[in-house]
Structure 1
Amino acid sequence: MNKQIDYKLLPALAAKSEPDWKRFLVKNKKKLEGMDVQVHALHDKISEQTDCLACANCCRSLGPRIIDKDLERMAKVLRLKTTDVIAKYLRIDEDGDMVFQSMPCPFLGADNYCSIYESRPKACREYPHTDRKRFYQIFNLSVKNAYTCPIVYKVLDSLTK
């Protein structure tokens, strides 16, 4: 197993690498469109080597957008009305999206486990997005996410080396 990157070091590491990643994107934009297989293989390999429970930085610092389906799932598992979930846990952000009132996530335990894991929001289920089809479309988002997630950092670092 590869050594886990300490999430506290990610902002400095990502800031140092970001110019290289951006140059890679400019140089390889057309090639990147056909690189999903390579990116997904990196995602799978690096995800297997990464213990998300040792990190949980995404749950501490990134507020997911909550969609209506998420709200329904959360209400059901919490045994609350959707209006009560909204009142207790959510707010509308500056973009008009429903998000958690505060971070870290209210469902993140001291052990880094999610108390609503099976019913977690779609954005949480799909994070860190490095296994998404047409990865090139979210390359810039991935650069931003590399400041938070060791998986994204290592995928970008491996892809651009």
Structure 2
Amino acid sequence: MDLYADWQKNAKSKYKENQTFLKRLKKVKKGKQIDQIVNDTDEKAFQKFDCLTCANCCKTISPVVTATDVKRIAKHFRMKETEVISEYMRVDSDGDYVMNRQPCPFLGADNYCSIYEARPKACREYPLTQNQGFNQRPALHARNTLTCPVVFHVVKELKEKL
């Protein structure tokens, strides 16, 4: 079985277990140690998993798009910010701009992002495994195990090492 099929098969069945583990991890006082394990595991995982093979994040979730992101995308397209918003965005239940459809309107058939250099900050930072304070966002990372094989792999490794 290939790595992606293995992830898809196991992500849903392990979700509750991962969710419980990550909630408990929030109470652990070894934040820097956890971040180091996550960062090291993330680097190894990205050697195994290719975002261009998967692109599940771009197909299934919509990033929050900030005003700075809108400005950058508008500049990229040489459009007015209001045009970018009306063409590509909607306001979600939290009052944030998000993409108005899934998969992302900028995702090509080859899984390349047509605005890669101008992509939103949330896309640049995803899957949030290189940020500090990994153990402080258990619900987010639990959800991301369903979306991203790298996050699933990172959580699997954390469970084995801790």
Question: Whole-Å Cα distance in 2 between the matches of residues 89 and 22 of structure 1?
Answer: 34
Aligned CA-pair RMSD = 1.9
1:69 equivalent in alignment to 2:68? yes
**Deviation larger for 84-93 or 32-41:** 32-41
Asked whether the equivalents of residues 31 and 135 of structure 2 are also in contact (C-alpha less than 8 Å), the reply is yes
Gap change, CA 1:135 and 1:16, over 3 Å in 2: closer
User: In the TM superposition, what are the counterparts of 1:75-154 in structure 2 within 5 Å?
Assistant: 75-154=74-153
Letter in 2 for 1:129: L
Closer/same/farther in 2, CA of residues 105 and 10 from structure 1, 3 Å limit: farther
Shift of 1:10: 5.4
Structure 1 equivalent of residue 59 of structure 2? 60
Q: How many residues align?
A: 158
CA distance in 1, matches of 2:12, 2:37: 26
Moved more, 143-152 or 131-140: 131-140
Which stretch of the first structure deviates more once superposed, 64-73 or 134-143? 134-143
* DSSP 3-state at the match of 2:146: coil
* Cα drift, residue 12 of structure 1: 2.1
State the alpha-carbon separation in 1 of the partners of residues 65 and 23 from structure 2.
33
- 1:9: which partner in 2? 9
Give the superposition deviation at 1:146. 0.4
Report the TM-score when normalising by structure 2. 0.88
Percentage of pairs with the same residue: 42
- Preserved CA contact (<8 Å) 1:58 1:149: yes
CA distance in 1 between partners of 2:76 and 2:19 (Å): 43
| Partner SS, residue 35 of structure 1 | helix
TM superposition shift of 1:24:
5.0
- Please, what TM-score do these two structures have when normalized by structure 1? 0.89
Which digits, 9 at most, give the CA deviation of each residue in 1:38-97, with x for residues without a partner?
Answer: 111111111122111110000001100000110011011112110100110111111000
Listed as ranges, the gaps of 5+ residues in structure 2 are none
